[in-house]
Every structure is written in structure tokens, then in C-alpha cells.
Amino acid sequence: MSADPRQFKQAASQALKNPRLQTALGRIKSHFVHKRAEAVERFGAFEALRHEGHAIRDRAIANLDMLLVQFEDSVRARGGQVHWARDADEARQAVADILRQAGARTVIKGKSMVTEEIGLNDFLEREGFTPVETDLGEYIVQLRHEAPSHIIAPAFHLNKEDIAQTFREAHTGLAPERALVERSALVAEARQILRRQFESADAGITGANFLTAAEGAAVLVTNEGNGDLSRLLPRTHIVVTGIEKVVANLSEASVLLRLLTRSATGQEITSYVTIMAGPVADDAAANTATRDFHVVLIDNGRSDLLPQSLPGLWRDRWPCLWRHLSRPHRGGAQSRPDRAGRCLPPPQCLNLLRPLCGGVPGRNPPAADHAKLAGQGI
């Protein structure tokens, strides 16, 4: 099945004719839709919470430019780096550049639909890296060279016999006569294999469910704990995510978190909620190597979907950020006066924008320039 949106019609046509997939999707109704309805019922004022979430997202979209710049500043203040990517190609290159600089070869990954969107695994393999999915469902579909069939249940189209077969073909080092009948046996085997990957990987890539501008944090929900391991064990952690994930602060993210887990799996909260801010603090006894933390922020068409009135505002307030995110075909990044004829941006934000203006589009200027320019107090 193709994950390319341009092939959607053909892929949908094939999927509709796949009885096994249709049966699986039928099960999704009881697994997700009904569980969500029950969770909503238990919560009570869910509609009010949805309205609050809606308002938070509306505010975030209206202030997206400021929040993203604030987010970058907060990440830097914690010792991390932000990489701007206008499209999938720039995002893939940014990840590969970080991995090369870190001298990384094997990369463990938490489940991330944005990395599916940009085709990261295939690209990394072509570039000589070894990406390993660690979410159980993603791991299975990766072994089968398939695309995930559902965003939160990637291997939902498979039954346990399919998975046993896949494991026997992939895990050739294990005893061929082993029993792989029970689900628990499949989970134990994947756990055993993945544990070695976690321990030896050079870098970890995760997605993010939310980014918080005030704290410079990426918030991630998982039920398997693989997101935490992907962040904590390797020396380098890269968060790959879209620009639309940013909200003002953790308090706002917590409202969205309540909505997200109930709506996705009907859970009050997922088994793990990880707040990832800056490089992991080293435990001197266990690991004395320096850790690094990167966030790759991807536009890849998202800013095309901003309300019609916003792109103008972006150009007015943040001409340099606009240039970072707008792709060449969009035309010039000419600033223009706002409706009242004033020329913005607000001066107190220029410190943040200066380093962006000086950089190559899509790349970060050196941190030293940032400090120097900020020091000028313009």
C-alpha cells in the first residue's frame, strides 16, 4: 500500500477490495470508536474540554510564527538545537546531517507519522544508516516492508500467524523450532530483539505530540515505553515533527493531552507521557559522554493551510521566518504593510529574528552569531 497522498485514490481502491483489511478496520470500531465514546462519557464535560482545546489550537495557529521562534529560543536555552525544514527533502537531509555529525550508524525510532510522511527510513537506509522501529506494530510493518495501516495501530491488518511468519523469517538467529503461537510469545520475542537494539543504538528519533514554546519541550505519549528508551539510551536524540504541534506552554498541552488520549484509544492517560526538554542529563557514573538534543521542525505544506489572512501577517511580522518556511515556488518573501498600513515587526522580537535572517534558509546560523547578535540589543 502506498503512503503517497497522490496515490490515495488507487490505494483506497485496493484497500476496499482487501477483505482482511476491511475485517480489521471493522474491529477498529469496537477497539477505538466505542472505547472513545465510553471515555468521553466517563469524563463528563468533554465537549467543554474540546472547545477549550479548539481555542488553544486557534490561538496557536494565530500566533504560530511567534510561538515557533519562542520554541526555538527555549530549546536553545536548554542546550538543544532546532532545525527548520521547508519540505520533506530538507527534513531528511537535516536528520542525516545530525546523524553524520554525531557519528551515528544505528538509529532506534519511536513511532512517528511525520517520519512516515517524509519517507525517512528508506532515505536513511540509502544513506547507509540502519533505522530500527521500536513500536511493536511499526517494527512488524518495517520487517514486512509495508506502510502502517492505522496511525495508532500500524499492524492492525495482520493476524498473529502473519506476525509469527514474519518473525521466523527475520529473526534467523533464534531456534527454528520455538513456539510462536501465543501473542505473549510474539511480544516477548520482539522485546528480546529490540532490547539489544536499544542498548547498542547510536541515536534515537521520536516524534512529538505537542511542542511547548515556553518550556522548549516536546511531549510524547506512548503505551510501550519505547519512546522513553529511544530518547534516554542513545547519545543523540532527534525529535522530528511538524510546525503545527506547537502550543504556548505545558499547561495548554495538558488540556490537549486529556483530549488526545481519550480520543485516540479511550485511555484516561497513556502508559507513558514523556516531557522531553533539552539533552538528557548525564548520569556521570553510567555515561560520561556528552548528550545532544535536536528538533527538526517540518513545514512540508503545512503553512499552505494557514487561514488566508495569516500568510500576510507572517510576511509582515516575521519576514525572515516566513522565508524559512515558505518554499521557492511560493514567490518572493516581500514584506508588505498590514491592513492599517503599518510596517511591523515588533522591535522586542528582533533579537530572536536576527539570527534567522543571517542564516541560510532552512539551516541554523552558528550559536555564537546568535549570542553576538542578541547581545546587540536591537
Partner 1 sequence: MSGKERHVGLFVTCLVDLLRPEIGFATARLLEMAGCTVVVPSAQTCCGQPAWNAGADDHARALARQTIDAFAGLDYVVAPSGSCAGTIKRHYPTMLADDAAYAAKARDLADRTYELSAFLVRICGMNDLAARTNTKITYHDSCSSLRDLGVRNEPRALLAQIAGTELCELSDGEVCCGFGGMFSAKYPEISTHMADNKLADVESTGAEMLVGNDLGCLMHLEARAKHQKRNLRVRHIAEFLCEAMPEPDTGKV
What is the contact surface with partner 1 in residues (CB under 8 A)? 9, 12-13, 16, 29, 33, 309
Decide whether 288 or 309 has the Cβ nearer to partner 1. 309
Q: How far is the CB of 45 from partner 1 (least distance, A)?
A: 16
Give the 3-state secondary structure of residue 359. Answer: coil
How far apart CA 115 and CA 104 sit, in angstroms, is 18
Closest CB to partner 1 among residues 308, 348: 308
| Nearest distance, CB of residue 71 and partner 1, angstroms | 28
CB-based contact 296:239 (threshold 8 Å) = yes
Nearest residue (CB) to partner 1, 29 versus 196:
29
Taking the complex as a whole, how short is the minimal distance between the CB of residue 12 and partner 1, in angstroms? 5
User: SS3 letters for 52-99?
Assistant: HHHHHHHHHHHCHHHHHHHHHHHHHHCCCEEEEECCHHHHHHHHHHHH
Confirm if 343 and 91 have CB atoms less than 8 A apart. Answer: no
Least CB distance to partner 1 at residue 16 (A): 6
Q: Which is nearer to partner 1, 12 or 48 (CB)?
A: 12
Residue 270 in grid coordinates: 497513556
CB 305 within 8 A of CB 253: no
Q: Which is nearer to partner 1, 204 or 266 (CB)?
A: 266
To partner 1, the closest distance from the beta carbon of 309 in angstroms equals 7
Tell me the one-letter amino acid at 219. Answer: V
**Cβ atoms of residues 291 and 235 within 8 Å:** yes
